[in-house]
Amino acid sequence: EDQVTQSPEALRLQEGESSSLNCSYTVSGLRGLFWYRQDPGKGPEFLFTLYSAGEEKEKERLKATLTKKESFLHITAPKPEDSATYLCAVQASGNTGKLIFGQGTTLQVKP
Amino acid sequence: DSGVTQTPKHLITATGQRVTLRCSPRSGDLSVYWYQQSLDQGLQFLIQYYNGEERAKGNILERFSAQQFPDLHSELNLSSLELGDSALYFCASSVGRKNEQYFGPGTRLTVT
């Protein structure tokens, strides 16, 4: 069964303290791995798509990497405005766009 | 702003009732997806439509149905509502093979 597990569930950082969020997945043929940011009560906001092991993408203080079994979202020198829930999702091979989401990591960055 | 719109923003209704949630995708996007988000289940895929045709189904209850119209907007119909149906319902849209899904602001459904 296709599955996505994110860790940790919650992470508290001081402003400027870099860290990484983990997304482990098991899927029958990976078509894509997606990272989203979600603020409370709002819709997920698309961040990155990764398609193959070794691929990396960057956006401001965020960098996403992908291996054959997991993805990491690295946050460098975070600011309070980076506080949010970060969701990882996978799309399995096939002709559908169905995304399977992990439970998310809730990040709090304190000033 | 993702360009995906959903109405209404909030909906409060009683058990046994029927509601309709509406979604307009981003301009040019042919695929529409519906997801349910509850505290204990996280984001769960319900159903996908592509250019008016059903493409994929997830764990969607038989009491729920959806359709996509010729102008590409979509509606999700929830009937015989139960307390456990209270959740956030999101619509997303995408275009092409990249499948980058852009989510709307959601409809918060409360069943009392």
Instruction: Annotate B19-58 with DSSP letters as a single string.
Output: EEEEEEPPTT--EEEEEEEETTTEEEEEEEEETTEEEEE-
pLDDT band for position B97 (50/70/90)? low
Q: What is the pLDDT of residue B47?
A: 97
Distance CA B103, CA B37 (A): 12
Q: What is the pLDDT of residue B31?
A: 94
Query: For the segment A54-70, what is each residue's pLDDT rounded down to a tens digit?
Result: 999 999 999 999 999 99
Burial of A54: CB neighbours in 10 Å, binned 0-12, 13-18, 19+: exposed
Please check whether residue A32 is in contact with residue A91, taking contact to mean a CB–CB distance below 8 angstroms: yes
Tokens of B29: 């996007």
Distance CA B86, CA B84 (A): 5
User: Who among B43, B88, B101 is closest to A97 (CB)?
Assistant: B101
Taking contacts as CB-CB distances below 8 angstroms, the residues of chain B near A103 are 42
A–B interface: beta-carbon pairs under 8 A? 64
Please check whether residue A99 is in contact with residue A91, taking contact to mean a CB–CB distance below 8 angstroms: yes
Q: What backbone phi and psi angles, to 5 degrees, belong to A80?
A: -55, -35
Please check whether residue B105 is in contact with residue B88, taking contact to mean a CB–CB distance below 8 angstroms: no
**Mean pLDDT in chain A?**
95
CA distances B15 to B12, B90, B106, Å, are 10, 21, 21
CA distances A82 to A26, A75, A77, A109, Å, are 28, 9, 10, 7
Q: What is the pLDDT of residue B33?
A: 97
Burial of B83: CB neighbours in 10 Å, binned 0-12, 13-18, 19+: exposed
CA angle (B15, B20, B23) in 5-degree steps: 140
User: Who among B2, B56, B58 is closest to A43 (CB)?
Assistant: B2
Distance from the Cα of B86 to chain A's closest Cα (Å) equals 14
Tokens of A73: 């979202």
Q: Do A101 and B4 touch (CB under 8 A)?
A: no
User: Who among A43, A102, A103 is closest to B90 (CB)?
Assistant: A43
**Residue B96 above 90 pLDDT?**
no
Closest-CA residue of chain A to B47: A98
What stretches in chain A show pLDDT beneath 70?
95
